[in-house]
Amino acid sequence: MNMSNWLTRRRPVLNSHQRERREQLVAPPQTDQQPLHASRLIVLDLETSGLNLYRDQVLSIGAVAIEQGAIDMGQQFECTLFRPGHKVTEAVLLHGIAPSDIALGCAAADGLLDFLEFARGCVLFAFHAPFDQRMLGRSLKQDLGYRLQHRFIDVADMAPMLFPQADVGRGGLDDWLTYFGLLNSARHNAAADAQATAELLLILLSKARQQEIYRLEDLLQRLNRWRSLRQTRLSAHL
């Protein structure tokens, strides 16, 4: 067996305190019937060493909480993870996390545990959520020996579904922020991107209520129908 493959597959080495914290994590509850405006929602952003789902690593986690339909400025999360042997890549030019920042980061297991305790089983929202979900899930498995159980909702799909008239199409986060006149000069680090995504999400949730989307179940059903219709239209043009 290739030695590098063996290293990535071995179980993470955790100390007793980390193992105890992992065992105390609570599985996300089933909240599909709970009104979105009454739910605690977590908006997440990750900065990674690159875009390779199988090779690159999570370097930084940023998150904010939405409660009672507003961003709770007292509930924000940010951490940089220590990654041995981290090297400068093209991604550094975007997120600005230098090797010196990584060297001062917290142990990956501790940072991930801190985030899971902050999220407390809540639904996670992210822009281009499948990427964040895959990267976070792999990091939790490799660094913590834990299986990601949180439900993810893609804000990048919510925006064009709720605002089909917007001349943005499948644009990026910056395009949607510009469309709604949201300014965020500190973009492209995890905490700032999570804040910007949360501000966008508040607009989307308000629009959702206008369209009688009140519960998570309603939102998921609408997203599934919208994706199916979009796929049908794309197939018709092939």
Instruction: Look at residue 95 in the predicted model and tell me its pLDDT.
Output: 60
Mean pLDDT of the chain: 89
Give me the DSSP letters along 31-72.
-TTSBGGGS-EEEEEEEES-S-TTT--EEEEEEEEEETTEEE
Residue 88 contacts residue 64 (beta carbons within 8 Å)? no
CB-based contacts of 176, cutoff 8 Å, min separation 6 = 159, 166, 168, 200
Q: Which of 57-61, 94-98, 212-216 shows the lowest per-residue confidence on average (mean pLDDT)?
A: 94-98
Instruction: Look at residue 219 in the predicted model and tell me its pLDDT.
Output: 96
- The C-alpha atoms of residue 32 and residue 47 are separated, in whole angstroms, by 29
Q: How confident is the model at residue 185 (pLDDT cuts 50, 70, 90)?
A: low
Domain ranges of the chain: 38-233
31: pLDDT strictly greater than 90: no
Q: What is the CATH number of domain 38-233?
A: 3.30.420.10
pTM flag (> 0.85): yes
Segment 9-19 mean pLDDT: 88
Cα→Cα distances 95→76, 172, 177, 189, Å: 19, 16, 18, 5
